[in-house]
């Protein structure tokens, strides 16, 4: 069975500071890993994903994440926070992207990022 | 990419009533997924809907409570039946397209 753990339900950073949102996964097969962002009253937007290949993945809005198999982690980072980054961030895992019934994502409980001026 | 439209975007409902949420995709997809996001919580998969067959429900979700239709490859509906305040959630439709999952903007239901 797969699972995702996001450490820290609330994270607060100052504008310009490093953003680090933690995600650890559990999977018995090679995982596909995702980070989604949800702005208030909006749907989910894909930030970035890891499927295969390079373990450092760059996404939109300056975010990146590194897949570390030995640590079963996929932490999300951004060097310098902006006020517009304030949102809820979800880490998710699946093991199949082929369009079949196993495509269901397992989501973490989310991390609410606050950016202080 | 895939563009997903959900209706209604939000609604306020009375206890004991039922509401049907529609999901329209701009291209044909094999599977459609329905998720629930309860207040302050993460997303939980309700069921997977395949065109031409009955939906497959996750543990804790049953067809009588959440009947799903999938009449064609671009459309699906989720009904929340006999609603109670505990059903107040955001319900999201999702599809896989070219190896990526896309989500609708969600339908925010408040049950009084």
Instruction: Provide the pLDDT confidence category of residue A14 given band limits of 50, 70 and 90.
Output: very high
Looking at residue B98, what is its pLDDT?
Answer: 75
State the pLDDT at residue B51.
82
* Nearest residue on chain B to A90, alpha-carbon basis: B42
Q: How far apart are CA B104 and CA B25, in angstroms?
A: 9
CB B56 within 8 A of CB B69: no
**Binning pLDDT at 50, 70 and 90, where does residue A71 land?**
very high
Q: Higher model confidence: residue A28 or residue B61?
A: B61
B95, two tokens: 């599809």
Mean pLDDT in residue range A56-64 = 95
Residue A98 has what pLDDT? Answer: 62
Q: Is the pLDDT of residue B31 over 90?
A: no
d(CA B68, CA A94) in angstroms, rounded, equals 23
Chain A interface includes B13 (CB < 8 A): no
Cβ-Cβ contacts under 8 Å, A46 against chain B? 100-102
Strand ranges, E, within A1-117: 3-5, 10-14, 19-21, 24-26, 32-38, 44-50, 56-58, 64-68, 73-78, 87-94, 106-107, 111-116
B54 touching A, CB under 8 A? no
Contact B23, B33 (CB under 8 A): no
Nearest CA distance, A110 vs chain B (angstrom): 6
CA A63, A4, A101, A70 torsion: positive or negative?
positive
User: Count of alpha carbons within 13 Å of A92, Cβ hemisphere only?
Assistant: 26
Residue-level pLDDT at B108: 93
Report chain B's mean pLDDT, rounded to a whole number.
Answer: 92
Cβ contact, residue pair B31, A43, below 8 Å: no
pLDDT tens string B38-62 = 987 888 999 999 888 889 999 999 9
pLDDT higher than 80, residue A102: no
The per-residue pLDDT for B96 is 82
């Amino acid at each position: 069975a797969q699972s995702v753990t996001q450490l820290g339900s609330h994270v607060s950073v100052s504008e310009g500071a490093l953003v680090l949102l933690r995600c650890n996964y559990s999977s018995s097969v090679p995982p596909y890993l995702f980070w989604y962002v949800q702005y208030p009253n909006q749907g989910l937007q894909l930030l970035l994903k890891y499927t295969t290949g390079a373990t450092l993945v760059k996404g939109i809005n300056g975010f990146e994440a590194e897949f570390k198999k030995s640590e079963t982690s996929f932490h999300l980072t951004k060097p310098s926070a902006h006020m517009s980054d304030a949102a809820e961030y979800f880490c998710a895992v699946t093991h199949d992207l082929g369009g079949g019934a196993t495509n269901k994502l397992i989501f973490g409980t989310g991390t609410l990022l606050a950016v202080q001026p | 990419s895939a563009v997903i439209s959900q209706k209604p975007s939000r609604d306020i409902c009375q206890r004991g009533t039922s509401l049907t949420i529609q999901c329209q995709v701009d291209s044909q997809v094999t599977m459609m997924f329905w998720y629930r996001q309860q207040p302050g919580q993460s997303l939980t998969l309700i069921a997977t809907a395949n065109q031409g067959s009955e939906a497959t429900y996750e543990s804790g979700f049953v067809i009588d409570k959440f009947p799903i239709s999938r009449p064609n490859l671009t459309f699906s509906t989720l009904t929340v039946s006999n609603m109670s305040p505990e059903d107040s959630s955001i319900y999201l439709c999702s599809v896989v397209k070219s190896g990526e999952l896309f989500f609708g903007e969600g339908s925010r239901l408040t049950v009084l």
